[in-house]
């Protein structure tokens, strides 16, 4: 296969993440109210299904952390693409809850393939060819996927049954993976990059657990809106039928945000930019608690989309900078923490919503978690700064 251009490689991996996360994962959000109307899906079961999806993502992340062969990663990546298609279509073929849990779990595995394997293969390809290893464009695939699901939702929701809608989402996913399948380079002859760099700053053992706590909290803040934002909007009388628009706003703000956060971080520093992103994510939750007006919910979606993607992209950049000799290990630890939160939080908030009859208490809990994560992030920053100061003093002695 002839060498493809940088643009085509970027497009290939972006389409992959749009298919496996943007649609295979995020189509579930606008489908919750559709399934509630069509088959009586309750808030608790909706939360359990979201938890099953993130349990699959978490399992995939753990599996990927043990894989070193680039050829195997490429094969599993293609398997993940097919799984994204099949699991979306299969949701239409059954009303058995145990099968739904299995399908959402497998969909989570495909999401891990699209995000982690796709991102890893892209970074390797870029670095091998002396391109700048930036993944901002790659992360834009999440926002693009949200936009696609939002637009599709408003087009198909009043015309097709919930089963037919799942089939349509699966068909769109199939169209997206075809160019990825055709353009993905052959990694069978590629060799892993040699590790020549060394960690610049020796960090104490307390650093990673604190950073993992911060990222765990970010995972909870992300997943609650990702799962229930449309449902929250649809449950407000004044916003009935406007859920698709709220979801579209989140996607439109998410798509360009990674590149914008890169610019913010270059001006303020990664730690400061990350802290601002955490506070903005918390603000998006607070707005939902304070007002049920269309403007407020739309503003919340706008801030949410821009902030969560900034947290993900900057946090991964952070560990890449702090652990340049082997970034995959700390990145997998962070992904594990993020994934645990994504598996637990939707089930808890779904149960709380069903028990109390609204999402207020679940949102309050999520807000507290995000503020806790902000405090943990500041603590991690202080640990890193003290380690840097100690290293400077040792070097100057």
State pLDDT tens for residues 75-92.
999 999 999 999 999 999
State the DSSP string of 331-377: HHHHHHHHHHHHHHHHHHHHHHHHHHSSSHHHHHHHHHHHHHHHHHH
The answer as to whether 193 is a domain residue is: no
Give CA angle at 332 (186, 322), nearest 5°: 100
The answer as to whether 215 is a domain residue is: yes
Distance CA 115, CA 216 (A): 18
- Residues 288 and 203 placed together within one structural domain of the fold: yes
- Mean pLDDT of all residues in 310-321: 81
- Residues 142 and 272 placed together within one structural domain of the fold: no
Question: How many domains would you assign to the chain?
Answer: 2
Report the CATH number at residue 80.
1.20.1250.20
Residue 167's nearest CA partner among 53, 80, 83, 91 is: 91
DSSP three-state, residue 104: helix
| Residue 397 binned pLDDT confidence (cut-offs 50, 70, 90) | low
The answer as to whether 99 is a domain residue is: yes
Are 308 and 389 in contact, with CB atoms under 8 Å apart? no
Q: At what angle do helices 294-322 and 257-268 cross, to 10 degrees?
A: 60
Are 61 and 336 in contact, with CB atoms under 8 Å apart? yes
Query: For residue 64, what pLDDT is reported?
Result: 82
- Mean pLDDT of all residues in 370-382: 96
Q: Residue 200 pLDDT more than 70?
A: no
- Mean pLDDT of all residues in 149-175: 92
- Residues 227 and 167 placed together within one structural domain of the fold: no
- Residues 141 and 242 placed together within one structural domain of the fold: no
Query: For residue 216, what pLDDT is reported?
Result: 95
- Residues 318 and 204 placed together within one structural domain of the fold: yes
User: 61 or 36: whose pLDDT is higher?
Assistant: 36
What is the rounded (10 degree) CA torsion for 77, 67, 142, 231? Answer: 100
As a residue count, the chain comes to 397
Encode burial over 147-184: b for 16+ CB neighbours within 10 A, e otherwise: bbbbebbbebbeeeebbebbbbbbebbbebbeebeebb
Burial class (CB in 10 A: 0-12, 13-18, 19+), 311: buried
- Residues 252 and 149 placed together within one structural domain of the fold: no
User: 124 or 365: whose pLDDT is higher?
Assistant: 365
Distance CA 309, CA 301 (A): 13
The answer as to whether 17 is a domain residue is: yes
| Residue 213 binned pLDDT confidence (cut-offs 50, 70, 90) | very high
- Residues 157 and 256 placed together within one structural domain of the fold: no
Of 159, 188, 217, the residue at which a domain comes to its end is 188
Helices (H) and strands (E) counted in the chain, each on its own, are 15, 0
**Cα distances (angstroms) measured from residue 342 to each of 142, 262, 345, 367:** 16, 25, 6, 15
Domain residues for the domain of 297 are 199-397
Distance CA 314, CA 297 (A): 26
- Residues 226 and 110 placed together within one structural domain of the fold: no
Of 188, 217, 251, the residue at which a domain comes to its end is 188
- Residues 233 and 182 placed together within one structural domain of the fold: no
Are 31 and 3 in contact, with CB atoms under 8 Å apart? no
Taking only the tens place, the pLDDT of each residue in 217-266 is 999 888 888 777 777 777 777 777 777 788 788 888 988 888 888 888 88
Phi, psi at residue 269, to the nearest 5°?
100, 150
Look up residue 239 and give its DSSP letter.
Answer: G
The answer as to whether 1 is a domain residue is: no
| Residue 196 binned pLDDT confidence (cut-offs 50, 70, 90) | very low
- Residues 284 and 263 placed together within one structural domain of the fold: yes
Are 320 and 136 in contact, with CB atoms under 8 Å apart? no
Distance CA 14, CA 266 (A): 24
The answer as to whether 194 is a domain residue is: no
Residue 206's Cβ-side half-sphere holds a number of Cα atoms within 13 Å equal to 10
The answer as to whether 69 is a domain residue is: yes
Q: Residue 202 pLDDT more than 60?
A: yes
Q: Residue 358 pLDDT more than 90?
A: no
Query: For residue 327, what pLDDT is reported?
Result: 58
Are 305 and 257 in contact, with CB atoms under 8 Å apart? yes
Query: For residue 198, what pLDDT is reported?
Result: 47
| Residue 377 binned pLDDT confidence (cut-offs 50, 70, 90) | very high
- Mean pLDDT of all residues in 338-347: 82
Are 251 and 306 in contact, with CB atoms under 8 Å apart? no
Q: What is the pTM of this model?
A: 0.78
Query: For residue 226, what pLDDT is reported?
Result: 74
Distance CA 20, CA 53 (A): 12
**Cα distances (angstroms) measured from residue 50 to each of 18, 37, 47, 183, 282:** 18, 18, 5, 31, 21
- Residues 139 and 240 placed together within one structural domain of the fold: no
Selection from 41-45, 136-140, 177-181, 311-315 with the highest mean pLDDT: 177-181
Selection from 122-126, 156-160, 359-363 with the highest mean pLDDT: 156-160
- Mean pLDDT of all residues in 277-283: 96
What integer best gives the mean pLDDT of the chain?
85
- Residues 181 and 254 placed together within one structural domain of the fold: no
The answer as to whether 2 is a domain residue is: no
Distance CA 4, CA 17 (A): 19
Of 153, 188, 223, the residue at which a domain comes to its end is 188
Q: Residue 135 pLDDT more than 80?
A: no
């Amino acid at each position: 296969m002839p060498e493809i251009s940088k643009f085509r490689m970027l497009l290939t991996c972006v389409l992959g993440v749009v298919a496996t996360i943007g649609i295979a994962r995020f189509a579930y959000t606008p489908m919750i109210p559709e399934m509630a109307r069509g088959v009586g899906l309750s808030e608790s079961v909706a939360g359990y299904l979201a938890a099953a999806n993130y349990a699959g993502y978490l399992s995939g992340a753990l599996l990927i952390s043990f894989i070193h062969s680039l050829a195997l990663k490429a094969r599993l990546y293609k398997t993940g693409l097919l799984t994204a298609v099949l699991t979306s279509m299969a949701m239409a073929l059954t009303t058995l809850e145990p099968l739904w849990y299995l399908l959402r779990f497998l969909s989570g595995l495909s999401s891990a393939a699209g995000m982690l394997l796709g991102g890893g293969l892209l970074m390797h390809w870029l670095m091998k060819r002396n391109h700048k290893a930036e993944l901002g464009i790659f992360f834009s695939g999440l926002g693009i996927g949200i936009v696609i699901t939002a637009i599709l939702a408003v087009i198909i929701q009043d015309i097709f049954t919930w089963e037919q809608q799942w089939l349509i989402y699966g068909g769109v996913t199939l169209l997206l993976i075809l160019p990825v399948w055709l353009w993905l380079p052959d990694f069978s002859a590629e060799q892993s990059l040699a590790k020549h760099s060394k960690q610049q700053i020796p960090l104490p053992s307390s650093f990673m657990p604190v950073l993992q706590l911060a990222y765990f909290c970010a995972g909870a803040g992300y997943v609650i809106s990702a799962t229930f934002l449309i449902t929250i909007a649809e449950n407000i009388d004044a916003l009935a039928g406007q859920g698709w628009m709220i979801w579209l706003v989140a996607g439109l703000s998410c798509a360009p945000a990674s590149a914008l956060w890169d610019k913010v971080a270059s001006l303020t520093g990664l730690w400061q930019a990350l802290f601002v992103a955490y506070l903005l994510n918390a603000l998006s939750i607070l707005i939902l608690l304070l007002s049920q007006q269309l403007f407020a919910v739309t503003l919340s979606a706008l801030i949410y989309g821009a902030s969560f993607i900034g947290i993900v992209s900057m946090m991964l950049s952070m560990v890449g900078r702090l652990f340049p000799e082997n970034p995959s290990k700390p990145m997998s630890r962070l992904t594990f923490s993020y994934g645990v939160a994504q598996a637990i939080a939707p089930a808890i908030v779904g149960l709380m919503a069903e028990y109390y009859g609204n999402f207020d208490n679940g949102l309050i809990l999520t807000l507290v978690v995000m503020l806790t994560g902000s405090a943990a992030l500041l603590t991690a920053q202080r640990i890193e700064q003290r380690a840097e100061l100690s290293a400077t003093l040792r070097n100057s002695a």
